[in-house]
């Protein structure tokens, strides 16, 4: 019906859940869905004095390949490039790292969220 809202796409619900999870863990969310040089960073957060570039992977079910295992060398290189541009743009010389938040979000029940701090090297 026209008054019912469409449900948010799975990836948006996943990013929302990841942002809430990180906030509860004490992170400060600085930005979301940042496009830099043809690449996108899902979440940019701050953990103490460290800038954290977060890749969120959401699936409705646990397939043969866990969501965190779908971030290969090419995606990692794109994230590194985007992070360098973000840091240059903001004139920040901070410690930084790349985290992954993997989410299994079933139709019913709570999502299963796994956080991988410092998931891959920055250089």
Residue 4 pLDDT: 67
10-120: CATH class: alpha beta
Residue 3 pLDDT: 65
Question: Can you tell me the distance from the alpha carbon of 68 to that of 10, in angstroms, rounded to the nearest whole number?
Answer: 16
Summarised one tens digit per residue, pLDDT across range 23-81 is 999 999 999 999 887 899 999 999 999 999 999 998 887 777 788 888 999 999 999 99
Residue 67 pLDDT: 80
CB atoms within 10 A of CB 62: 12
Residue 1 pLDDT: 54
Summarised one tens digit per residue, pLDDT across range 5-16 is 777 777 788 999
Residue 33 pLDDT: 92
Mean pLDDT, residues 103-123 taken together: 88
Summarised one tens digit per residue, pLDDT across range 19-36 is 999 999 999 999 999 988
- The torsion region of residue 114 among left (phi > 0), alpha (psi -120 to 50) and beta comes to beta
Evaluate if pTM is beyond 0.85: yes
Question: Can you tell me the distance from the alpha carbon of 101 to that of 120, in angstroms, rounded to the nearest whole number?
Answer: 12
Query: Can you tell me whether residue 31 is helix, strand or coil?
Result: strand
């Amino acid at each position: 019906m026209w008054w019912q809202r469409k449900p948010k796409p799975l990836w948006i619900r996943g990013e929302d859940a990841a942002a809430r999870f990180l906030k509860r863990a004490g992170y400060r969310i600085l930005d979301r869905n940042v496009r830099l040089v043809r690449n996108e960073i899902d979440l940019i957060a701050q953990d103490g004095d460290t800038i954290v570039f977060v890749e969120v992977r959401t699936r409705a079910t646990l397939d043969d390949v866990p969501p965190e295992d779908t971030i290969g060398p090419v995606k990692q290189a794109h994230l590194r490039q985007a992070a360098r541009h973000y840091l240059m743009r903001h004139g920040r010389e901070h410690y930084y790292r790349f985290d992954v938040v993997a989410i299994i979000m079933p139709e019913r029940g709570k999502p299963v969220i796994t956080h991988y701090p410092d998931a891959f090297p920055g250089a």
